[in-house]
Amino acid sequence: MPQWAMVIDLTRCTGCAGCQVACRAENATPPGITWARMEYFEAGTYPNVLRVSLPALCMQCREPPCERVCPSGATYIREDGIVMIDPELCIGCRACMIACPYGARYYYEEERTYFPGHVTPYEQRRSRSFQVGTVSKCDFCAHRIDTGLARGLTPGVDPEATPACVLNCWCNARFFGDLDDPMSEVARLVASGQAIQLKPDAGTEPKVYYLLPGRNVVVRQHEFRGPASLPREFSREG
Amino acid sequence: MRVEVLRDEAQQTVWGWKIAAYLFGAGMGAGAYAAGAATALLPGWGSASEARVYMAVGTATVLASVPLLVWDLGRPERFLRVLLKVRRSWLSRGAWILLLFGALAVTTLVLGVPRWLAGLSLAAAVAVALYTGLLMGSMVARPLWNSPILPVLFLVSAFSTGLALVRLVSIAASNGSAGASLPAPSLLPSVEVGLLATETLVLYFYLAIAYLRIRTPVESLLYGHLAPTFWLGVVGIGLIIPLVLQIGRVHLAGSAAARVELLADACLLAGGFLLRYVLLRAGVRGPAYLGAPFVIRPEV
């Protein structure tokens, strides 16, 4: 069985958020639900500072904490390693949203459409996936992978079988493929030892990897200040 | 090196006041039930009829809190699915623990209070009070909660709020029926003072150790946006006022003592709810990129 994985090269990413738009167009996620989202932040101290654009999505962990806390079995791991949610089984307890270290899960609290009182063709297309009162998340465009494989295509190589965010990345910052196939681009990038996982301490073993331009500044846990203390933080120290 | 985080949850909003109310209610009910079982088992705590009243109050409080959990679900009509599969999720285990406690508690109340059954139901009550702490304490994604001390804190708080609840009920009952039916036993207030002191210590160590791990949520409690609720509600109303009133009550007698005790217990209960509420709210995740090694190349 293949193990689908993604490598995102942050040295190439321009932060255009094309992945976010492509995901929304492909999956018709309701307003407020952004499976593939962009995060922008700054690191370092003056004059050595860096503005980072980080495309984030479900990390498709090998040890998904969301699956462990799910009381109804709605979250499950497919044989190809994709973490899925069965909206028919989800009871909407949101324990998975508490458990996910990456904020990859979204709760569909109430019926929302982009244009009130009007459902666009995009929204009609995958409306079954969004049940009110359940949780949803990125599934590596599993429908594209499945239909592509059925047609004999190779995900990560053939556009029809590849996740929409990868296709739409005009910087070629996203790579998708089978981690178990040593010839695939993702397997070679991961094997290079340069690819890192987010929050490795959480023990989740993500299958989404990032290529960073080097290793000088570590965003440490005790250094982060949430908006809780934003006013204080705006008066920069040093 | 410092990092500014502009897009992160300011406070945890996934689980809100309904879950806080459940944590409070189930803990308080389990504590009241444990007080009843202890009264039945230990000499000098009170009569068998008092024990039964305490157990009944505890059982009713736990059972009344469970609907809050169902109400909080996105799909309340599917709640029985939690019991369809035995899973390693603490939510699933908690559902079984609640079911077991309900069955044991109702059996105890019907059969009277034989010693062995009281011991067994005491264990079930402790499990009800503990599992929520284990559920939250096992969330690696929430550094503030992810602590072995959280279940201890919840347990001690469950005992103190449970005791306050049965004291409130017995005082109210003794006033209502001319003071004859349920005399408030003299041992319980001193137990309550001990529990409050223990809770203060446990809360201190919990926050101190959490601070070594992650600062932001602890700072939001100590001097951030949750500080007023934490200091006034949890520490002031929930710990200091009940402690002072319970200790000072010794010098009073009669109805004045009962009124002071009533106030102390009411404050303790309010603090018990607020403790769960602020801990829930402060349980932020931290941005996805924490710990990621980013490079900064100075311009040459």
Tens-place pLDDT, residues A101-154: 999 999 999 988 888 888 888 787 765 678 999 999 999 999 999 999 999 999
**Phi and psi for A143 in degrees, rounded to 5?**
-65, -35
Task: Write out chain B residues lying below 8 Å of A201, CB-based.
Answer: 291
Q: How far apart are CA B162 and CA B265, in angstroms?
A: 10
pLDDT at B184 over 90: no
For A198-207, what is each residue's pLDDT tens digit? 998 899 999 9
Number of domains in chain B: 1
What is the pLDDT, as a whole number, of residue B273?
97
Task: Write out chain B residues lying below 8 Å of A33, CB-based.
Answer: none
pLDDT at B177 over 70: no
Q: Residue B156: which pLDDT band, with cuts at 50, 70 and 90?
A: very high
Number of domains in chain A: 1
| Residue numbers of the domain that contains B265 | 17-282
For A67-98, what is each residue's pLDDT tens digit? 999 999 999 999 999 999 999 999 999 999 99
Give residue A176's region: left, alpha or beta (phi > 0; psi -120 to 50). Answer: beta
Q: Is A218 on the interface with B (CB under 8 A)?
A: yes
Please give the residue of chain B at the shortest CA–CA distance from A47.
Answer: B298
Other C-beta atoms lying within 10 Å of the C-beta of residue B211: 17
Record: contact B4-A225, CB cut-off 8 A = yes
Residue B202 included in any domain: yes
| Partners of residue A53 on adjacent β-strands | A40
Residue B1 included in any domain: no
Higher pLDDT, B295 or B244: B244
Q: How far apart are CA B124 and CA B108, in angstroms?
A: 12
Least confident window among A174-178, A185-189, B67-71: A185-189
Residue B250 included in any domain: yes
Average pLDDT, chain B: 87
Q: Which of B79, B216, B289 sits opposite A229 (nearest CB)?
A: B216
What is the pLDDT, as a whole number, of residue B296?
56
Q: Residue A175: which pLDDT band, with cuts at 50, 70 and 90?
A: very high
Contact A160, A176 (CB under 8 A): no
Mapped onto helix, strand or coil, the DSSP state of residue B287 is coil
Contacts within 8 Å (CB) and 24+ apart, B257-263: B258/B171, B258/B174, B258/B175, B258/B184, B261/B167, B261/B171, B261/B184, B261/B189, B262/B168, B262/B171
What is the pLDDT, as a whole number, of residue A72?
92
Of A22-31, B127-136, B256-265, where does the model show the most confidence?
Answer: B127-136
Is the dihedral angle over the CA atoms B144, B146, B148, B154 positive or is it negative? Answer: positive
| Residue numbers of the domain that contains A58 | 4-234
Q: Is A15 on the interface with B (CB under 8 A)?
A: no
Task: Write out chain A residues lying below 8 Å of B220, CB-based.
Answer: 226, 228-229
Of A89-103, B46-60, B77-91, B240-254, where does the model show the most confidence?
Answer: A89-103
CATH number for the domain that contains residue A91: 3.30.70.20
What is the pLDDT, as a whole number, of residue B280?
96
Work out the percent of chain B whose per-residue pLDDT is above 90: 58
Q: Is A17 on the interface with B (CB under 8 A)?
A: no
What is the pLDDT, as a whole number, of residue B108?
87
Record: contact B82-A47, CB cut-off 8 A = no
Task: Write out chain A residues lying below 8 Å of B135, CB-based.
Answer: 95
Q: How far apart are CA B252 and CA B248, in angstroms?
A: 8
Record: contact B225-A228, CB cut-off 8 A = yes
| Contact map slice: A 129-158 vs B, CB within 8 A | 131-135
Residue B27: closest CA among B263, B199, B244: B199
Contact B74, B139 (CB under 8 A): no
Peptide bond into A47 cis (omega under 30): yes
CATH number for the domain that contains residue B75: 1.20.1630.10
Task: Write out chain A residues lying below 8 Å of B296, CB-based.
Answer: 43-44, 48-50, 216-217
Work out the percent of chain B whose per-residue pLDDT is above 70: 90
Rg value, chain A, Cα: 18
Please give the residue of chain A at the shortest CA–CA distance from B68.
Answer: A93
pLDDT at A39 over 90: no
Closest CA–CA distance from residue B141 to any residue of chain A (Å)? 4
What is the pLDDT, as a whole number, of residue B230?
97
pLDDT at B268 over 70: yes
Q: How far apart are CA A193 and CA A176, in angstroms?
A: 17
Residue B289 included in any domain: no
Closest CA–CA distance from residue B208 to any residue of chain A (Å)? 14
Average pLDDT, chain A: 85
What is the pLDDT, as a whole number, of residue B51?
87
pLDDT at A50 over 50: yes
Q: Is B224 on the interface with A (CB under 8 A)?
A: yes
Please give the residue of chain B at the shortest CA–CA distance from A102.
Answer: B288
Q: Is B14 on the interface with A (CB under 8 A)?
A: yes
pLDDT at B44 over 80: no
pLDDT at B175 over 80: no
pLDDT at B10 over 80: no
Q: Is B13 on the interface with A (CB under 8 A)?
A: no
Please give the residue of chain B at the shortest CA–CA distance from A104.
Answer: B288
